[in-house]
Chain A
Amino acid sequence: MNTVAFSPRRIGAMVLRHVYLMRKSWPRILELAYYPSMQMILWGFIAKFLTTTGSWVAQAPGLLIASVLLWDILFRSQLGVSLTFFEEMYSRNLGHLFVSPLRPYELVCSKLIISLLRTLIGVGGAALLAIPFYHYSIFSMGLPLIAFFANLMMMGWGIGLMVSALVLRWGLGAENLAWALIFAAAPVSGVYYPISVLPGWLKPLSLALPSSHVFEGMRAVMIEHQFRVDQLLDALALNFIYLVAGVLVFLAAFRAARTRGLLVHIGE
């Protein structure tokens, strides 16, 4: 019998559960790419207009498109964790899952993998669409794109785990947090503008977000053609804290759920 403390096979089983779900529903896959694509198209036209006005955006064609695509990486990675966790709650499946040998941290790992898959499908589709639409390829950013992608994914995972923990603790009534919490980060992350435009009192908050460092780093690459290692290191350090905090908060919520009997009764 399988009593190993960390089993890729069990993680694979949980990934398979979501792959089964995705592959039988083409609208589900389409939906993953639909919103990022629409966002990209909208901001693409805005960017096209702004370049004709000789604005700041004109310095780097594709800046706004890159911003919207990177923002969607963060947004989708967070949703990828929290929505797939809600899926278990909607289907009242947690009771079965946690009497199986599946460990909570294996469930967390599976959610991160599924989040990666969903983000690649969603944002990847939009990124590919931007090439024929606006003759802009985010892939032209090269290696820095991998650093930005990894950092935004990690931040999304951290927040997604915290949202899942809140919903595990307070039930599905709190599920709107999945959408609300990440949007609160948008204005202070400097997605579409440098964080220098933020009022002084908001700047510390902005600097505490890994996303701010990623978007500053992105602008440095696209406008100044330099890769800011300092921003990358700041983002990585913050992400380490976010991710560890996310895992710990989730595990604490899981323990609280075991104390309060929520694993059996939580659901629709």
Chain B
Amino acid sequence: MSECAITVEGLTKYFGKVLAVDNVSFRVRQGSTCALLGGNGAGKTTTLSILLGLLLPTSGRVTVLGEDMLRHRYRVLPRMNFTSPYVDLPKRLTVAENLTVYARLYGMSNIRPRLEELSEELQIGAFMHRPYGTLSAGQRNRVALAKSLLNQPEVLLLDEPTASLDPDMGDRMREFLVSYQKRSRATLLLASHNMQEVERMCNDVIMMREGKIVDHGTPQTLLGRYGRKNLEEVFLDIARYRSYQPAARSAR
């Protein structure tokens, strides 16, 4: 079995008396693309935030690339990155300025060639010198993706990476992320509501509901287990508390 890029053990997070993540444990293999799925409030963003060190857990342990994220996050942060619709970039700075600032924060030295590369790959060249705040939601999304790829991360955490992109651009971005993952052997963990995206990109799926992991497996395993044709139906089964289909159970 491949080495694990991410190991989560007994992760629990309370916000006051509200239990947001309930004793969650999982592993993500190095070089794999794993999806964290679940309805609103399932605990996906909370889990991602803890993985990034933005949020401290109430209890549990998180290891990324062999480093304990609670004690040594700065050893591993230069090798990670993330994007999320819940955070933004300074709106009055141009795209190029924003990316330059972040490239410096990540300690990069050859910034211009990297920006040119990303500009081409993510098709952001046309608005590279426009203020970030003047961009459409889809354009901002691509810029955020460019920011998340600046340091060529070994672990990339993506919260709804193609939200607000039109189908064409969404498809291009997925294609790009898949090729990036193959090229760099990076580990991708994504939270998404787009089930087609998950089926296309991921070789591992973690299903969450009410802060708990309720199922875990490859997309094919889950489809078989629930006797469904696509992950959207599996998602609905889980979200609506339906158990496995009997036919599927006997087939197993």
Contact = CB atoms under 8 A, between A and B. Distances in A.
Given A3-B75, A3-B78, A258-B54, 11 more contacts: A13-B104, A20-B101, A21-B90, A21-B92, A91-B88, A96-B88, A96-B89, A260-B15, A264-B45, A264-B54, A264-B87
Nearest to A256: B56
Contacts of A264: 45, 49, 54-55, 84, 86-87
A87 to B, nearest CB: 7
Interface in A143-168: none
A101 B82 contact: no
A95 B93 contact: no
Nearest to A13: B104
Contacts of B56: 255, 258-259
Given A21-B92, A261-B46, A263-B55, A96 B102 contact: yes
Contacts of A94: 87
Instruction: Decide if the interface of chain B is mainly helix, strand, loop or mixed.
Output: mixed
Interface string A7-39: 101101110110011001100000000000000
A240 to B, nearest CB: 27
B208 to A, nearest CB: 17
Contacts of B100: 16
A1 B79 contact: yes
Interface string B39-68: 000000110010011111000000000000
Nearest to B87: A95
A10 B107 contact: yes
Interface string A247-268: 0000000010011110111010
B93 A5 contact: no
Q: Which of A21, A91, A260 has the most CB of B within 10 A?
A: A91
Given A9-B107, A93-B87, A99 B54 contact: yes
Contacts of A13: 101-102, 104-105
A79 B86 CA distance: 27
Nearest to A2: B107
B52 A99 contact: yes
Interface string B95-116: 0010011101111000000000
